[in-house]
Structure 1
């Protein structure tokens, strides 16, 4: 839908410094949830959502009918005792997946390019969300930079003690006064990072990587204005012996430059891991099962038939395995916690190696199996039974493309 975007006042020159020149920041799903927790309920009517849709129900229905005609053809040919090619089976598998997609996305607006712009005095909250997101960190450089993610600036900070919000602080922030905020609570570098700097092993004081003082002051005041944010900080557990009381932040993706079309850390964990996972792997299971159904179909050679059987079984098994895993993770939360710990690289070394090897082997073999099925579906038409060119008489009565 283009997402929900925060419109930063482009007449204010501070935005060029505070948010790296961004004039509009898009909320992730977690960002929208945090907004609601802070009392900013997004009031979007159904009519506004429908107005963004560029495809009506009739167009979708015609697509489904045309796609479903292929399934009817294959069923009718089988009922009439006529042979079916592997290419037809392969197309049917994709048609079934397409119909599942249309069923789930029937009411989803299509080709939405413009986001729903939110306007309000949310600068402190925006600053906090910005610091908690990867876009606030320094872009990785060097080898394999494209496979690395920027570290959010908030992850380098800690919240020291607490204070009570005062109107003067908020007014100062709104005017971007660079004077130190009144009170004892503040965001600062983690003590462990400060120690590293003293030893010359950290570069956080580099102007390119240090969060600006204005952003930190805005984030501090967000913690005062929205007490719910303080629950996102946990007591330090990194061997602090200095006697200083501080809390560590929970960092996750809250803002992005634009709405992403692929699963990412900004999605709500339950939605991302379970619902989406079960739907995707459920569709993949159906995809593999349809190819398994061609077990005794005609193949140009026995070797090709063997590879087809092995590939279709493996695709079905892998998809069913991950489907069941997602289901078990929903029933038994500790399984999901293991996967979350693995993604955050906080799992034990042995467990991480075992899971990584399983994922790599399973992933590579799954891709190879899927690729073989696609190639064989086309290669096999070089030698097919004569009956594949016959069609049931009744199917010629109905107009179709």
Structure 2
């Protein structure tokens, strides 16, 4: 029998090792890069696993969606950190000592739904806007970064293994190109996901991983704010109409009690500056009624109202017991009058309104020294010389990972929503462009080559169209949108476009695998050094 003391590995690679290494890299990169938000209360482990599995599929077939999600959360966390820093700088200038400056980890924890409060209505999640409000009124709770890290399941070793595997994949692709060796379509597809994973790591670097239970905040410093925060948020809206019950009540500041300033006039055109972060900015027609035109700012509008027309439920606010309160129904107009369900609705009790007023007064007192922040917390109507409490979601049921491009749940940081949409469009262009670079590679058939090119162009083109659409809408924002119900034909067109984009994405992933049934021989030749680079597969 012939024996040997050492046998070198055979040159090259096989189809199995190629597929295995790509699958390992693809799944590891997507799975490890995902940092999902705190799940809703009473969420089962099965539901949490199912949701993460769904996001893995999103990462494989629509990586730009995951990148846009990470970008939205990074924007919100960075905004919150900057606002807290500005509050601390103001305190240092005025009282000589500032508060605790939060780290990005603490801010990410707030953005991802890691803070909850308990009030008379139950337990709710504190949003980024709610956290910012507590900072503004000097009621920000003290939360150590170690408390958050103890709950986080971040694993440095696992991330290191994934980074090494991804680096090997990128290095061997570059080496193949340098040596003139062909690169498979599967490697091109995997390369795109590796790049996206690196971007996700950068955006989510400070975000806690797999937090299952939020921190429960307790303390008298902010408890009196809870009625105000609940009433301002969408969760405190009328259960039957879905309309915020604060919408018609103008706020009279403490200094205005003896001199109410509401102007009685016959004009039906009312100018209003909607508070930044208000849910009304998502649908102005539902929020205000019939629009006349847009104003000169993103949050300024001129709208029509029926002077003297009050919705039946709101007539109760004119009873004697309500007239002594500093949240009063306006005499000039009723912002709920345009609601289709105007014949029914809920109103606040005088006792609960008194609790809301305490919270509003606390903010109003702080605004005396920082008046520029009034537009964050109040909706101003200079035409009738009135302020209304802004409808911002300070409290939410849970923090969604990514609701939609129209409702980004960024609240007051909606001023950055265009940046986020550009990220979405650019990532789609880059993902499609990377696949388009493989147009001249070997394909088993001409039909598959054409389908690959068409699919790549479709994804690249969708990103370019999104970019152009958002840019044009920003330029033409002063033009009021078309009113009325959307055209059913357009709905079908939109659905058809989305369906086609799903098909082309599935095709790119499937074709990346099945194209290996007829591959050039040189595809299995490997650069010598790549075998000595530590990797899986």
Tell me the TM-score normalized by structure 1.
0.71
1:295-350 residue CA offsets vs partner (Å, 9 max, x unmatched) = 20112222221221122123223324545666x59xxxx81883xx99xxx63339
1:34 is displaced (CA, Å) by: 2.2
For 1:335, which of 444, 452, 474 is the aligned residue? 474
Contact 1:158 1:246 in 2 (8 A): no
Match of 2:361 in 1: 224
Residues 321 and 57 of structure 1, relative CA distance in 2, 3 Å threshold: farther
The residue correspondences of 1:29-44 to structure 2 (distance < 5 A) are 29-44=128-143
How many angstroms apart in 2 are the aligned matches of 1:138 and 1:184?
21
The residue correspondences of 1:41-56 to structure 2 (distance < 5 A) are 41-56=140-155
The residue correspondences of 1:72-83 to structure 2 (distance < 5 A) are 72-83=171-182
How many angstroms apart in 1 are the aligned matches of 2:341 and 2:198?
59
The residue correspondences of 1:265-276 to structure 2 (distance < 5 A) are 265-270=409-414, 273-276=417-420
Look up the SS of the partner of 2:246 in the other structure: helix
The residue correspondences of 1:292-311 to structure 2 (distance < 5 A) are 292-311=436-455
Counterpart check, 1:66 vs 2:208: no
Match of 1:203 in 2: 344
Residues 298 and 261 of structure 1, relative CA distance in 2, 3 Å threshold: same
How many angstroms apart in 1 are the aligned matches of 2:380 and 2:219?
29
Residues 230 and 289 of structure 1, relative CA distance in 2, 3 Å threshold: closer
Counterpart check, 1:260 vs 2:360: no
Counterpart check, 1:127 vs 2:127: no
The answer for unaligned runs of 5 or more in structure 1 is 10-14, 142-149, 167-178
The residue correspondences of 1:1-400 to structure 2 (distance < 5 A) are 1=109, 3=113, 5-8=115-118, 15=120, 19=121, 22=122, 24-121=123-220, 122-138=222-238, 150-155=242-247, 157-159=248-250, 161-163=252-254, 183-188=324-329, 192=334, 201-204=342-345, 209-227=346-364, 228=367, 232-235=378-381, 247-262=387-402, 264-270=408-414, 273-323=417-467, 335=474, 338=477, 347-349=481-483, 363-400=498-535
The answer for unaligned runs of 5 or more in structure 2 is 1-108, 258-319, 368-372
Residues 183 and 253 of structure 1, relative CA distance in 2, 3 Å threshold: same
Contact 1:76 1:392 in 2 (8 A): yes
* Number of matched pairs: 347
1:351 is displaced (CA, Å) by: 12
Contact 1:162 1:184 in 2 (8 A): no
Match of 1:169 in 2: none
Contact 1:53 1:109 in 2 (8 A): yes
Residues 362 and 272 of structure 1, relative CA distance in 2, 3 Å threshold: farther
How many angstroms apart in 2 are the aligned matches of 1:71 and 1:301?
27
Contact 1:186 1:220 in 2 (8 A): yes
Match of 2:8 in 1: none
How many angstroms apart in 1 are the aligned matches of 2:240 and 2:522?
60
1:195 is displaced (CA, Å) by: 6.7
1:28 is displaced (CA, Å) by: 1.2
How many angstroms apart in 2 are the aligned matches of 1:55 and 1:183?
55
Look up the SS of the partner of 1:159 in the other structure: strand
1:145-179 residue CA offsets vs partner (Å, 9 max, x unmatched) = xxxxx433333x3226444599xxxxxxxxxxxx9
Look up the SS of the partner of 1:30 in the other structure: helix
Mean Cα displacement is larger for which, 34-43 or 218-227? 34-43
1:224 is displaced (CA, Å) by: 2.1
1:60-110 residue CA offsets vs partner (Å, 9 max, x unmatched) = 222111122222232223333333322221111111111211122223221
Contact 2:379 2:390 in 1 (8 A): yes
Residues 196 and 392 of structure 1, relative CA distance in 2, 3 Å threshold: closer
Look up the SS of the partner of 1:192 in the other structure: coil
How many angstroms apart in 2 are the aligned matches of 1:279 and 1:53?
27
Residues 140 and 303 of structure 1, relative CA distance in 2, 3 Å threshold: farther
Contact 2:428 2:460 in 1 (8 A): yes
Look up the SS of the partner of 1:8 in the other structure: strand
How many angstroms apart in 1 are the aligned matches of 2:240 and 2:160?
47
Contact 1:100 1:283 in 2 (8 A): no
How many angstroms apart in 1 are the aligned matches of 2:348 and 2:334?
17
How many angstroms apart in 1 are the aligned matches of 2:457 and 2:162?
30
Contact 2:428 2:463 in 1 (8 A): yes
Look up the SS of the partner of 2:191 in the other structure: helix
Look up the SS of the partner of 1:314 in the other structure: helix
1:280 is displaced (CA, Å) by: 4.0
1:273 is displaced (CA, Å) by: 1.1
Residues 305 and 257 of structure 1, relative CA distance in 2, 3 Å threshold: same
Match of 1:146 in 2: none
